[in-house]
Structure 1
Amino acid sequence: QQCSTLQLRCGIRHLAASIRSGQYRLASSIASDTTNRSNSSSRNERMSSSHKKFTVSVEGNIGSGKSTMLEYFSSLKSAQGIVESIPEPIDKWCNLAGVNLLERLYTDPKRWFFSFNLYCMLTRLDMHRFVTHRPVKMLERSVYTARFCFMTNAVNQGLLNSAEMQVLDCYYRSLLTGQWAEHLRVDLYVYLRCPPEICFNRVKLRNRSEESAGVTLSLLENLHQLHEQWLLDDQSADRPNAPVLVLDASQDLNDMKSQWDRHMPAILFDQHLSKDSCLGNQKPGYVLAKSCDS
Structure 2
Amino acid sequence: MVKNGWIAMKTELQQHLCERTLTPSGLMSNLFNLATLDRLTQQIHVQKGGVTQPGKQCPCREGLLLDLAAIQELIEQNTPLSLPSSRTWLGEGSHKHLIKKDARKRIICIEGNIASGKTTCLDYFAQTTSIEVLKEPLTKWRNVRGHNILGLMYQDASRWGITLQTYVQLTMLEQHTRPMISPIRMMERSIHSAKHIFVENLYRSGKMPEVDYAVLSEWFDWIQNNIDVSVDLIVYLQTSPKVCYERLKTRCREEEKVIPLEYLEAIHELYEEWLIKRALFEISCPILVIGADHDMQKMVEKYEENRDQILNPPNRQHHL
Query: TM above 0.5, one fold?
Result: yes
Match for residue 161 of structure 1?
209
Deviation at 1:262, TM superposition (A): 0.8
2:108–2:186 CA contact under 8 A, matched in 1: yes
Match for residue 199 of structure 1?
244
| Structure 2 length-normalised TM | 0.69
| C-alpha RMSD of matched pairs (Å) | 2.1
For the pair 1:244 / 2:244, whether they are aligned, the reply is no
Match for residue 319 of structure 2?
289
Render the CA deviation track for 1:10-34: whole Å, top value 9, x for unaligned.
Answer: xxxxxxxxxxxxxxxxxxxxxxxxx
Match for residue 12 of structure 1?
none
Q: How does 1:22-61 map to 2 (within 5 A)?
A: 45-47=63-65, 49=100, 51-52=102-103, 53-61=105-113
Match for residue 19 of structure 1?
none
Render the CA deviation track for 1:17-52: whole Å, top value 9, x for unaligned.
Answer: xxxxxxxxxxxxxxxxxxxx9966998632375734
Render the CA deviation track for 1:35-77: whole Å, top value 9, x for unaligned.
Answer: xx9966998632375734211010000000111211111011x
Letter in 2 for 1:268: L
Letter in 1 for 2:291: D
Identity within the alignment, %: 31
Higher deviation after alignment, 151-160 or 187-196? 151-160
Q: How does 1:1-294 map to 2 (within 5 A)?
A: 45-47=63-65, 49=100, 51-52=102-103, 53-76=105-128, 79-80=129-130, 83-178=131-226, 180=227, 182=228, 184-213=229-258, 215-234=259-278, 236=279, 238-270=281-313, 272-273=314-315, 282=316, 287-290=317-320
SS of equivalent to 1:58: strand
Please give the alpha-carbon distance, in whole angstroms, between the structure 2 residues aligned to 1:176 and 1:197. Answer: 34
Q: What stretches of structure 2 of length at least 5 have no aligned partner?
A: 1-32, 39-59, 66-98
Letter in 2 for 1:289: H
SS of equivalent to 2:186: strand
2:273–2:280 CA contact under 8 A, matched in 1: no
Please give the alpha-carbon distance, in whole angstroms, between the structure 1 residues aligned to 2:309 and 2:160. Answer: 38
1:231–1:239 CA contact under 8 A, matched in 2: no
Match for residue 279 of structure 1?
none
Render the CA deviation track for 1:64-97: whole Å, top value 9, x for unaligned.
Answer: 0111211111011xx12xx100100000000001
Larger RCO of the pair (alpha carbons < 8 Å, separation 6+): 1
SS of equivalent to 1:131: coil
Please give the alpha-carbon distance, in whole angstroms, between the structure 2 residues aligned to 1:41 and 1:255. Answer: 50
2:34–2:64 CA contact under 8 A, matched in 1: no
1:232–1:239 CA contact under 8 A, matched in 2: no
Please give the alpha-carbon distance, in whole angstroms, between the structure 1 residues aligned to 2:112 and 2:161. Answer: 20
| Structure 1 length-normalised TM | 0.75
Deviation at 1:130, TM superposition (A): 2.1
Please give the alpha-carbon distance, in whole angstroms, between the structure 2 residues aligned to 1:266 and 1:97. Answer: 41
- Mark the CA change 1:152 to 1:38 in structure 2 (over 3 Å): closer, same or farther: farther
Q: What stretches of structure 1 of length at least 5 have no aligned partner?
A: 1-36, 274-281
> Highest CA radius of gyration, 1 or 2?
2
Moved over 2 A (4+): 37-52
- Mark the CA change 1:57 to 1:208 in structure 2 (over 3 Å): closer, same or farther: same
Please give the alpha-carbon distance, in whole angstroms, between the structure 2 residues aligned to 1:121 and 1:39. Answer: 22
- Mark the CA change 1:223 to 1:40 in structure 2 (over 3 Å): closer, same or farther: farther
Q: Greater helix share, 1 or 2?
A: 1
